[in-house]
Structure formats: structure tokens, C-alpha cells
Amino acid sequence: MELRKKLQRIFIPAVFSAISLPGHAQTFTAAQATEGQSGYSQNCAGCHGGSLDDGEFAPPLKGTAFSQQWGGKSVGDLFTYIRTKMPPSNAGGLGEPAYLQITAFILQSNNVSLTATTLPGGAPSATRGRSRAPARPSPGGGLSPYASLIPAPPKPNPLDKLTPVTDAELQNPPAGEWLTWRRTYDDQGFSPLKQINKSNVAQLRSTWTWSLPPGANEATPLVHDGIIFVHSSGDHVQALDAATGDLLWEYSRELPTPKTGFLNLVKRNIAIYGNHIIFDTSDLHVVALDTKTGDVAWEHEVLDLDKNPRFGLTGGPIVAKGKVIIGTEGQGPGGNMIVALDAATGKEAWRFYTIARPGEPGGNSWNGLPLDKRSGASVWTAGSYDPALNLVFFGTAQTYDTGPLVHPSTEPGVTNDGLYTDTTLAFDPDTGKLVWHFQHVQNDQWDLDWAFERQLVHLKINGEDNKLVVTSGKEAYYDALDAATGKYAFSMDLGIQNVIASVDPVTGAKTINHQVVIGDGETKTVCPHAGGAKSWIPGSFNPETKILYVPLVESCMDLIPVAKGERGGLSSGVRFTIRPRLDGDGKYGRFEAINLETRKPVWIDRQRAPQTTGALATAGGIVFDGSLDRYIRAYDDANGKVLWETRLNDVPSSCPITYSVNGRQYVAVVVGNGGAHAITWPPLVPEIQNPPGGGAELWVFELPEKPANQKSP
């Protein structure tokens, strides 16, 4: 399971454990209403008036005008609006108890029962999530009932031309669109656009930005028919005009308060298929929204949150052969799963468990543990898909419950390999049948997951063309496997790790460096740190040049034994600490280009700030990447020279994308401090100070209207 989830227990404020009114069913008390009067006077009366209906700068909060605005809407809608938008000078900043008290005071002032779920004046409405048109109530006293608005100048609405996304488009997306997490099913993260190129990228400038709900944000936007769809922390989805940044619709989910544990609010990608935007939620559901309206088309509960508090959904879905396929992550008993849903209805089609069951193939690889004592094999990035082979590929992580696997069983036929941890899994998407698997590292005792992108590439080996699945664990140690069979092809060590001592050239089986084997009560210096030299932030592959561009971090960790009776970060009795490499020079960020056919580096750029974004390579000879110091940069893909850079408002922790609308190419990136990379590396670079508030934003860049040396895409 990813390090970020463990760190969230430390860094995510407690307010997120009670983030909203579950299903609008929250009731209030008279005591809250009494306290709310004071909170209202301090924070609201200046605009809405001391009597709630005598303010100069904001509309009434009681009486006829209030009923006309809010009648028929749920109390949960009112609370969510107040909690997220008010007061304008400190939106969301008062704390959960204060917002509950103020809401209770407003209800009491309108003679509404404190147990009401719907405000009087209209038809009841109670859904967990809600789409909204852009227009909202606003300060300023509200529009006069005697006034007529002057119509705005007409402008085209891109929603009018929005078309369904077909299987053919997902298999071969138009050059200007970004339809999956890595643009194409093969996870290459490469764009054929070249209007922005080496000769003009230095002129790149911000054309528009859009503020997102605050919080950690690792999501990659999608673009289709001139509309950009973006997911934000707390399960918000918005559709924007991709050329102008105008809001077209938004969906805001009302999340429940978990009985135990916490909600995992970070997500990495969404999917688009047919007329639906499809995404996973923090309360373990998958939701499909209508692409034109944001209305809920269907919703499916993957797991009951109250019964499964130690599971989460963060990786996001892939759609293949009409199936929405998504994996879970977490430390729950029995381990994680990959679930397929019918893309049209949300009905579950199949479910595969990533921890081998007793009595099933691989079930004897858990040291004889019963099923409820096995955990892990999280899936926290989306899969890839090969339509020709009709196979989907997913990767899994390790298990934090490493203690029972430290020493091998003496029982004949029983091992401590721990299938299917740190494994590539290849499925038939129609049936969920496991076609092949390859375990990259057995019995991972260091939290060095192999849960990242599975890139499908064509390479010549000994003069013959091969279709391969190429992937790496946190060690920055790459394995290449035959995509059809899983047969081992080759490995490639990028020189940062000290865990894998050697690899069998025929089978791919790894030999572990005995100096890092834990269990003897000694501190072990292990490279890389569990945050990963390579991590979920994906590399980008140029199929024309066969060059792979990989964002990396150079660091190590000391695994320090804990006192007897303590668990530690891993149940084998060690805790994580971060440290520089023993031979380090203070540069932690590493952006590397490798020719996959020769398996030799083309260039390496190293810097002080750790890398924090996925890579984006384009046919214009540019590769983009971002780092902890809030910079996003454009590199010459042939030599690594920085051709352009700009500083953002916060840490970019997602994947840059590029797209075109009306013949113009854009580059976009989401920022939002708090993701795994943003909170792991600061101890190494204390001089890098980023905004403490965690501002999230979508940045979009383009060339000037008439850039010099512009070439057509």
C-alpha cells in the first residue's frame, strides 16, 4: 500500500472525518442553534444583516426571498454551500462545528424543524451527489425582483457539440484529445501534437487558470470535444470550456462521516466512455455522470465503507470492452480486489482478489496464514489495455503486514512469496479470467511496490519485433515481459537501488542483497526510500525514438527496529526514516531519458528539488515535468536542456497533459499540495517552502496568438 495513506494519518486534519451531512440526514440541536447565533454575528451579519434579512451586501437568509432561493432543496445542500463558500473572505475556514451551528441558527430563524431534511417551499430532493449549473447565489443583496437582466453576448457552448466517446476513439484517440489517464490505452503518455515545439516553447504563457476545491490533488484531467473534465479533492468533478476556462457544470459529492478510520480523498484519474464521466469516490463507490449535465447516470457500491474502513479507491478506472475496471487499495483483511462493472449500467460483472486464497493457485505462498491474516496487494494506479490481445494489465503493491512473512515456513509446499503482491496481472476483460501473472519481487519487506503504469511498447530484441509490457517498482528497476504470455524478456536497473543484487537472465527471478534483509534487530540502510525512486508519477515513452522519460527521486531510508511490543511502519518491527544517499551530493530530483532498445541512458538531468509530476512527451520534441519547488519545465527531448520553465502557485502532483481546440495547442497541469510526493520529500529540502494552505488549481498554457516560427500540428 502506498506511503501517502500512512502519512495522511498524520497530516490530514481531523475535520475531514466529518466532512458533510450523510445523505442529508444530519439533525441539529437547540444548543447548536444558540451557539450559531454568535457565529453568525461574527462571520455573516456584516453581509446578510444582524436580522438575517437586512444586509446591504448579501441576500436575505430568512423570509420569502430565502424560501424562493432554497425552498425544496435539502438541508444538506444549504450546509454544504455554507461550509464550502462562506464567508467569502475565509471560505471553508471556520471549522465543522461552527458551520453546523450557523446552519442550525438559520434553520431556527426560518421556523424550520431542526430535524428537517428538506427546506420548505418545493419538492424534496435527497441524493448523495449533485450536479449544479454554474450560477449560484451571490453576495451583493441579490438581484432586484423589479430588474431585468441585460442579455450577455451570445457565445457557443461546447456542450452542444459534445459527442459520445466510442471504443474506436479510445483505441485510437484523435491527436488533440486526452481520453484516458495516459492519453492512450498503452500508458505511453505521448502526444502527437507538435504546434508547441523546440523552436517556440520558450514563448509558452499562461492563458487561463481555474481554482479547484482546496486539498491534495493528483488527478489527471481528460479532454474531449473542447471540454476539459477535472476531478478535485473531496470528490468534485467539473466540466470546463477547454479554450476559455468557463465552467459548464459541476458535481459535488456529499460524503458520509465514517464510523471508523478516515476518508481517502486523493484520486489519480477519471474515465470517459459513451456519454459518461466515470470516477471512484472516497466512500468506495463508482459513479457515472452524464457528460453534458453532470447528472448521475448510475452509481455502484464497490465496498460498504462502514464494514470495510481500511480500504480505499484512489487509482481510478479504465474502460475496456464496455467494462469499467478498477482496483482497491488498503490494509483490510483478505486483501484487495479488481472489480469490473458494466459501463452502461454499473452492474458488477466480475471481481478478482489480488491476495491468493487458500486452496487456490498461489494460495500456499502466504506462510500458511489464514485468509483474514493476509492483506495488501493494493492497486493504486489505473490499468492499461491491449485491444489486439484483449488483455488488461494491472500492477499490485506489497503488504504492510510483513511480520508473518519474514521467516519462511518449514511446512512442505508452503512459501512466503506472498502472491499476488508486487505482481503484473493480465486479465481477459470480458470474464475476469487471469491469463498470466509475473511476480517481480517475492516477499517485499521494504514497501517497494510494483503498482505503477504498465506501458505497452514495441521493441526489437535480437532483430525481432516484440510487444512488451514494461514496468518498474519503486527501486527504479525495470522489467520487460512479453505482453501475450508474461514471459520474461529483460531487466534494466537505473542505478539508485541496493535491494536487488542480481536477476536470472532467463526467468527474471531476483536475488536480494543480504545486507538489507531485515529480522536480525539491526538498522538497515535501504535505497530507495519507500516513497520510491520511481513511484506512481508515470514515465512517458516516445514510440518514434523508443526513448523512455522517467521522473525519479534519489533518496534512501534507514529501517530502524522498534522496541519490543511495538509494530512499526511495517509489522516486521521496523519504522521508516528518510535520509540522503550515502554517496549523495544534495541533488534529489532526477529526470532521465533511456533508450529502451539499447537500454542505455540518453541524458540525465539532476536538481535539488525532487520530481513530483508524471512526464509528458510530445512529437514537438518536448518533454514536460514538474517538481517540489513548484516549477514545471519543458526539456529538449534529445539532450535534456531546459527550454522553458515557470513557477506555479503550489506543488504540481499530477500529470501534465496537452490537447488542441480550434487548431490551438494547450498544455495543462493540476496542482494541489498534499499528495504522496509533496509530503514525503520536504525533510530532505527544508529550504523549499511552499504555501501552507494547500491551494489547488488547474493551469493552462498556450503560445502567443502569433508565435514566432509556429508550425502546424
pLDDT digits (tens, 9 = 90+) for 56-89: 677 889 888 788 788 888 888 898 889 878 887 6
Q: State the first-to-last Cα distance of the chain, in angstroms, to the nearest integer.
A: 41
Q: How confident is the model at residue 139 (pLDDT cuts 50, 70, 90)?
A: low
* DSSP per position, 190-252: EE---SS-TTTGGG-EEEEEEEE-SS---PBPEEETTEEEEEETTTEEEEEETTT--EEEEEE
Residue 567 has pLDDT above 60, yes or no: yes
pLDDT at position 709 is 54
Q: How far apart are CA 556 and CA 402, in angstroms?
A: 20
The answer to whether 206 touches 215, Cβ cutoff 8 Å, is: no
pLDDT at position 427 is 97
Contacts of 215 (CB under 8 A, 6+ apart): 232, 233, 234, 265, 672, 674, 694, 696
* DSSP per position, 162-196: --PBPHHHHHS--TT-B-STTSSTT---EE---SS
pLDDT at position 532 is 97
CA 68 and chain centroid, separation: 39
- Within 13 Å and on the Cβ side, how many CA atoms surround 192? 9
Helix (H, G, I), strand (E, B) or coil at 27: coil
pLDDT at position 126 is 42
- Within 13 Å and on the Cβ side, how many CA atoms surround 489? 27
pLDDT digits (tens, 9 = 90+) for 575-609: 999 999 999 999 999 999 999 999 999 999 999 99
All 3 cell numbers of residue 264? 481517502
Give the residue with greater pLDDT, 40 vs 501. Answer: 501
Find the length of the chain. 713
Pairing of the two strands 488-493 and 423-427: unpaired
Q: How far apart are CA 87 and CA 93, in angstroms?
A: 8
pLDDT digits (tens, 9 = 90+) for 429-460: 999 999 999 999 999 999 999 999 999 999 99
* Stretch (H or E) spanning 80: helix 75-85
Q: How far apart are CA 31 and CA 623, in angstroms?
A: 58
Residue 251 has pLDDT above 60, yes or no: yes
Contacts of 244 (CB under 8 A, 6+ apart): 208
Residue 572 has pLDDT above 60, yes or no: yes
Span 214-234, average pLDDT: 94
Span 636-651, average pLDDT: 97
All 3 cell numbers of residue 553? 527521486
pLDDT at position 144 is 80
Select from 646, 525, 648, 536 the least CA-distant residue to 577: 525
Give the residue with greater pLDDT, 20 vs 167. Answer: 167
Domain annotation for the chain: domains and CATH numbers: 3-125 (1.10.760.10), 167-702 (2.140.10.10)
**Of the listed ranges 298-312, 558-572, 633-647, the one predicted with least confidence:** 558-572
Q: How far apart are CA 253 and CA 99, in angstroms?
A: 18
One-letter amino acid for residue 461 of the chain: I
pLDDT at position 7 is 38
Q: How far apart are CA 94 and CA 84, in angstroms?
A: 10
Compute the radius of gyration of the chain from its Cα atoms: 26
- The pTM of the full predicted model, rounded to 2 decimals, is 0.86
Q: How far apart are CA 425 and CA 459, in angstroms?
A: 21
pLDDT digits (tens, 9 = 90+) for 255-281: 888 888 778 888 999 999 999 999 999
Q: Specify the DSSP class assigned to residue 538.
A: -
